[in-house]
């Protein structure tokens, strides 16, 4: 039996910003605090979380939808990849990110908690930091 769940988070950035950060190696690395190699092309392979995650971009609909095959080093060699579907919905002045993780092989860790700890908490901090207004320079005398 396979496992599936949905989890969401509000981020203080536009959907385009979140989409671009997710699909660019340097921004994904900065956003999560762990090395990632990823691109914004359908069909390309990626790795994240210092190589713990690997997968492939299956469907990209900028700037609101990302579907990826997804597996971790915890998956057995014979396990099929799971699937991660990310929807980025405009909400207030930011984005509601809804993540649906499906086809997880039975016996895997609690990825719902894992997503929160390794992605959503660092992402909230990353995008909040980007939104800090720069103080105005004082007028010269």
pLDDT in tens, 41-69: 999 999 999 999 999 999 999 999 999 99
The predicted structure's pLDDT at residue 140:
64
The predicted structure's pLDDT at residue 130:
79
| Cα(28)–Cα(12) distance, integer angstroms | 16
The predicted structure's pLDDT at residue 138:
63
Structure letter (DSSP) for residue 51:
T
Host domain of residue 36: 3-130
The enclosing domain of 47 has a CATH number of 3.30.530.20
Among candidates 79, 68, 71, which has minimal Cα distance to 54? Answer: 71
The predicted structure's pLDDT at residue 137:
56
Residue 139 lies in a domain: no
pLDDT reading at 128 higher than 70:
yes
Q: How many helices and strands, by DSSP H and E, does the chain display?
A: 4, 6
User: Are the CB atoms for 70 and 84 separated by under 8 Å?
Assistant: yes
Give the number of domains in the chain: 1
Residue 137 lies in a domain: no
Angle at 109 between CA 105 and CA 113, to 5 degrees: 120
Looking only at the bridges linking them, the beta strands covering 3-11 and 94-104 are antiparallel
pLDDT reading at 134 higher than 90:
no
Residue 141 lies in a domain: no
Question: Helix crossing, 121-130 with 15-22: angle to 10°?
Answer: 120
User: Are the CB atoms for 7 and 115 separated by under 8 Å?
Assistant: yes
Indicate left, alpha or beta for 123 from its phi (over 0: left) and psi (-120 to 50: alpha): alpha
Question: Confidence class of residue 2 from pLDDT cuts 50, 70 and 90?
Answer: confident
pLDDT tens digit sequence for 10-40:
999 999 999 999 999 999 999 999 999 999 9
User: Are the CB atoms for 36 and 54 separated by under 8 Å?
Assistant: no
Report the pLDDT averaged over residues 122-141.
Answer: 73
Residue 107 lies in a domain: yes
pLDDT tens digit sequence for 72-126:
999 999 999 999 999 999 999 999 999 999 999 999 999 999 999 999 999 999 9
The predicted structure's pLDDT at residue 76:
95
């Amino acid at each position: 039996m396979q496992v599936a769940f949905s989890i969401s988070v509000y981020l203080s950035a536009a959907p385009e910003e979140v989409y671009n950060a997710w699909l660019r190696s340097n921004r994904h690395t900065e956003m999560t605090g762990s090395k990632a190699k990823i691109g914004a092309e359908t069909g390309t392979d990626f790795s994240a979380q210092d190589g713990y995650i690997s997968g492939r971009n299956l469907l990209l609909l900028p700037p609101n939808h990302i579907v990826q095959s997804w597996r971790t080093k915890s998956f057995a060699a014979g396990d099929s990849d799971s699937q991660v579907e990310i929807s980025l919905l405009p909400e207030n002045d930011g984005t509601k990110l809804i993540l649906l993780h499906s086809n997880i092989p039975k016996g895997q860790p609690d990825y719902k908690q894992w997503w929160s700890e390794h992605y959503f908490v660092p992402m909230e901090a990353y995008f909040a930091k980007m939104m800090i207004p720069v103080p105005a320079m004082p007028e010269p005398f």
